[in-house]
Chain A
Amino acid sequence: MSKINEGFFYSEDHEWVKVEGNVAVIGISDYAQHELGDITYADLPEEGDEFSANDEFGALESVKASSELLCPVSGKVVEVNAELEDAPEKINDDAYEAWVIKVEMSDPSEVESLMDAAAYKEYIEK
Chain B
Amino acid sequence: MATFQYFPHTPEDVRKMLDRVGAKSLDDLYCDVPQDLVHKEEYDLPDAMSEQEVRDFFESLDSKNQKLTVFVGQGSYDHYSPAVIPFITSRSEFLTAYTPYQAEISQGTLRYIFEYQSMICSLTGLDVSNASMYDGPTAAAEAVRMSLACTKKKTRVLVSSTLLKNVLETVETYSKFYGLQLDYLPADNGTTSYAALSEELAKGGVAGVLVPSVNRYGIVEDLGSFAEPIHAAGAMFIEYCDPSALAVVRTPGELGADIAVGDGQSLGIPMCFGGPYVGFMACRKDHVRKLPGRIVGQTVDADGRRVFCLTLQAREQHIRREKATSNICSNESLMALYTTVYLSLMGPEGMKEVNDRSYAAAHYLYEQLLSTGKFEKVFDKPFLKEFVLKPLVDAENLMIKLADGGFFAALPTEEGYVSFCATERRTKAQIDALVALVKEA
The residues of A with any CB-CB pair to B shorter than 8 Å are 40-41, 43, 61-66, 68
- Tell me if A66 and B319 are in contact (CB < 8 A): yes
Q: Does B313 belong to the interface (CB within 8 Å)?
A: yes
- Tell me if B314 and A65 are in contact (CB < 8 A): yes
Q: Does B428 belong to the interface (CB within 8 Å)?
A: no
Q: Pick the residue among A62, A63, A66 that contacts B320 (CB under 8 A).
A: A66
- Tell me if A64 and B289 are in contact (CB < 8 A): no
Chain A residues with CB below 8 A from B289, complex form: 41, 43
Q: Does B323 belong to the interface (CB within 8 Å)?
A: yes
Q: List residues of B (311-356) whose CB comes within 8 Å of A's CBs.
A: 312-314, 319-320, 323
- Tell me if A63 and B313 are in contact (CB < 8 A): yes
Q: List residues of B (106-151) whose CB comes within 8 Å of A's CBs.
A: none
A44 shortest CB reach to chain B, Å: 12
B12 shortest CB reach to chain A, Å: 43
Chain A residues with CB below 8 A from B323, complex form: 66, 68
Name the 6 nearest CB pairs between A and B, nearest first: A61-B314, A66-B314, A66-B320, A66-B319, A65-B319, A64-B319
Chain B residues with CB below 8 A from A68, complex form: 323
Per DSSP, chain B at the interface is: helix
B285-328: CB near A (< 8 Å → 1, else 0) gives 00001000000000000000000000011100001100100000
A69 shortest CB reach to chain B, Å: 13
Q: Nearest A residue to B311 by beta-carbon distance?
A: A63
Q: Nearest B residue to A40 by beta-carbon distance?
A: B314
Chain A residues with CB below 8 A from B319, complex form: 64-66
Expressed in whole angstroms, the Cα–Cα distance for A66 and B320 within the complex equals 7
Question: What is the interface size of chain B, counting residues whose CB is below 8 A from a CB of the partner?
Answer: 7
Per DSSP, chain A at the interface is: strand
Provide 11 A-B residue pairs closer than 8 Å at the C-beta atoms, listed in order of the A residue: A41-B289, A41-B314, A43-B289, A62-B314, A63-B313, A63-B314, A64-B313, A64-B314, A65-B319, A66-B320, A68-B323
Specify which of B289, B313, B314, B323 lies most central, judged by the most chain A CB atoms within 10 Å of its CB.
B314
Q: List residues of B (221-253) whose CB comes within 8 Å of A's CBs.
A: none
B311 shortest CB reach to chain A, Å: 8
Chain B residues with CB below 8 A from A62, complex form: 314
Chain A residues with CB below 8 A from B320, complex form: 66
Q: Nearest A residue to B321 by beta-carbon distance?
A: A66
Chain B residues with CB below 8 A from A63, complex form: 313-314
Expressed in whole angstroms, the Cα–Cα distance for A43 and B314 within the complex equals 12
B291 shortest CB reach to chain A, Å: 13
Expressed in whole angstroms, the Cα–Cα distance for A61 and B319 within the complex equals 10
Expressed in whole angstroms, the Cα–Cα distance for A40 and B313 within the complex equals 11
Chain B residues with CB below 8 A from A65, complex form: 314, 319
Expressed in whole angstroms, the Cα–Cα distance for A61 and B314 within the complex equals 6
Expressed in whole angstroms, the Cα–Cα distance for A105 and B312 within the complex equals 34
Expressed in whole angstroms, the Cα–Cα distance for A65 and B289 within the complex equals 14
Expressed in whole angstroms, the Cα–Cα distance for A63 and B316 within the complex equals 11
A114 shortest CB reach to chain B, Å: 25
A70 shortest CB reach to chain B, Å: 13
A39 shortest CB reach to chain B, Å: 10
A41 shortest CB reach to chain B, Å: 7
Specify which of B312, B313, B323 lies most central, judged by the most chain A CB atoms within 10 Å of its CB.
B313
Expressed in whole angstroms, the Cα–Cα distance for A40 and B319 within the complex equals 14
Expressed in whole angstroms, the Cα–Cα distance for A64 and B319 within the complex equals 7
Q: Nearest A residue to B316 by beta-carbon distance?
A: A66
Expressed in whole angstroms, the Cα–Cα distance for A68 and B319 within the complex equals 12
A94 shortest CB reach to chain B, Å: 22
Expressed in whole angstroms, the Cα–Cα distance for A64 and B312 within the complex equals 9
B14-41: CB near A (< 8 Å → 1, else 0) gives 0000000000000000000000000000
Expressed in whole angstroms, the Cα–Cα distance for A40 and B289 within the complex equals 12
B316 shortest CB reach to chain A, Å: 9
Expressed in whole angstroms, the Cα–Cα distance for A116 and B313 within the complex equals 35
A57 shortest CB reach to chain B, Å: 13
Chain A residues with CB below 8 A from B312, complex form: 41
Given contacts A63-B314, A64-B319, 17 further A-B contacts (CB under 8 A): A40-B314, A41-B289, A41-B312, A41-B314, A43-B289, A61-B314, A62-B314, A63-B313, A64-B313, A64-B314, A65-B314, A65-B319, A66-B314, A66-B319, A66-B320, A66-B323, A68-B323
Expressed in whole angstroms, the Cα–Cα distance for A40 and B288 within the complex equals 14
Expressed in whole angstroms, the Cα–Cα distance for A61 and B312 within the complex equals 9
Expressed in whole angstroms, the Cα–Cα distance for A64 and B316 within the complex equals 10
Chain A residues with CB below 8 A from B313, complex form: 63-64
B172 shortest CB reach to chain A, Å: 30
Specify which of A64, A65, A66 lies most central, judged by the most chain B CB atoms within 10 Å of its CB.
A66
B372-406: CB near A (< 8 Å → 1, else 0) gives 00000000000000000000000000000000000
Expressed in whole angstroms, the Cα–Cα distance for A17 and B211 within the complex equals 47
